[in-house]
Amino acid sequence: MKIGLPAAGWFALNAALVTSVLATAVAVVETSHHCRQMYSELQALEVAQWDMQENWGRLLLEQSTWAAHHRVEQLARKQLGMHLPAPAELRVVAP
């Protein structure tokens, strides 16, 4: 006793399976390519992040240099003509 599909049915089944396998293969290749692109973009963004962190560190160092107490005092004396008050110039204000 022979159970099965006629020849046309087997052909249609095989064609559907081959089509499914090819579609899956194309999807795997496309997904792999997309993954590689995303990984490449991630690496580029990480390099940019490191560059920005390095620049931020330099800016913080520059800011601390410009805002140093002795530098502010020196600029106040030279450019604004400021000076520390003499003890006789001090006034205490009571509430």
Give me the chain's average pLDDT, please: 92
Per-residue pLDDT tens over the stretch 16-46:
999 999 999 999 999 999 999 999 999 999 9
Rounded Cα distance between 22 and 43, Å, is 32
Percent of the chain with pLDDT over 90: 71
Question: What's the whole-model pTM score?
Answer: 0.56
Which long-range contacts does 26-32 make (Cβ < 8 Å, 24+ apart)?
Answer: none
The reply to whether 75 falls in a domain is: yes
pLDDT at 8 (0 to 100):
80
Structure tokens, 84 = 């520390």
Q: Is residue 89 part of a domain?
A: no
Domain count, the chain: 1
In-domain check, residue 44: yes
pLDDT value of position 32 = 98
Alpha carbons 76 and 67: distance in angstroms, whole number:
12
Host domain of residue 43: 7-79
Query: Is 88 a member of any domain?
Result: no
Per-residue confidence (pLDDT) for residue 10, from 0 to 100: 84
Please give the Cα distance from 4 to 66 (Å, whole number): 88
